[in-house]
Amino acid sequence: MKTEFIQSNGLKLFTISNFFSEEAPTILWVHGFAEHSMRFIEIMNFFAEKGFNSVGFDLRGHGKSEGIRAYIQNFNEYLQDLNIVRNYYEQKYPKTKWFLVGHSMGGLIVIRYHQTMYEKNHWLLKVVSSPFLGVSAHVPGWKKSLSKLIVNIYPQISIPSGLNPDHISHDPKVVENYKNDKLVLKNATAGWYEATMKAIESAFLDVTKTQKGLHFLIAGDDKLVDAKATQDFFEKISKENGSTLKIYPEMYHEIFNEVGKEKVWQDLLILLKTQL
């Protein structure tokens, strides 16, 4: 894996890449809230063995990237960063063809990217895993009220996210590593929360803009994001556009890191290969 920092709107974004052939297709991975790109190395290595290059990056305010921790002014900042990462690596490797895979909040980023002007970049396929289209975990009323009260006064204020690591996977090793990972965020900001809630609302308002090439892999026993909201979103997509949805009934949120993840990886591989 090669690591480097690239500039995006005044911030340095940490990126990792595994290019073994410019002729091979490339997957751009977008991680979820609170985590970072290095948590995807295992699945990147699996896809390298199957003939795919990989690129990952830490979202602004996450991992090793610059920016106030877990803070954005507008959700479009994430879309702009994704666009800049894609364009940077496309200039370095102009012959490769691109897939886009986003997990959790990364899935929401992919959906909003898919629905906006950034769709000008061609992708063979876009896949979202357990996308953040609704909250399954309980958010206390005081947090919601506090967020709305202070977002215009002090949007960078940091409060505990309340994310329960025990609900990311049934694999105790994954959970333990997550708990001990110093790059994993424990807090969120009012600015991030309000911007992300608006992005979810916009995703549903723009559901008719969901074109061909977007596919869903979701955890059926997700206790962090609302799997039912994803199914509702999918049902609103035109049946003619060829989107698909696959549910893993007993899995927790991180299906790429779950017990039985090999089945999910294989399903993703089969999905991507349909476009080669």
pLDDT on residue 242: 87
Q: Which helix (H) or strand (E) holds 41?
A: helix 41-49
What is the crossing angle of helices 261-273 and 41-49, to 10°?
A: 50
Element (H, E) at 28: strand 26-30
Beta-sheet strand order (sheet of 214-219): 2-8, 11-18, 53-57, 26-30, 98-103, 125-129, 214-219, 245-248
* CB-CB contact of 72 with 78 (8 Å): yes
**Beta pairing partners, 187:** 160
H-run or E-run covering 129: strand 125-129
Looking at the DSSP assignment, which residues form a beta bridge with residue 56? 16, 29
User: Of the ranges 20-24, 113-117, 124-128, 237-241, which is most confident?
Assistant: 124-128
pLDDT digits (tens, 9 = 90+) for 61-108: 999 999 999 999 999 999 999 999 999 999 999 999 999 999 999 999
Q: How far apart are the first and last CA of the chain?
A: 24
CATH number at residue 125: 3.40.50.1820
Residue 155 predicted with pLDDT over 80: no
Mean pLDDT of 237-249: 89
Q: How many CA atoms lie within 13 A of 248 on its CB side?
A: 25
User: Number of folded domains in the chain?
Assistant: 1
Range of the domain at 149: 2-273
265 pLDDT band, cuts 50/70/90, is very high
| Helix (DSSP H) and strand (DSSP E) numbers for the chain | 8, 10
- Taking the CA atoms of the chain, what radius of gyration do you get in angstroms? 17
Summarize the confidence of residues 39-49 as an average pLDDT. 98
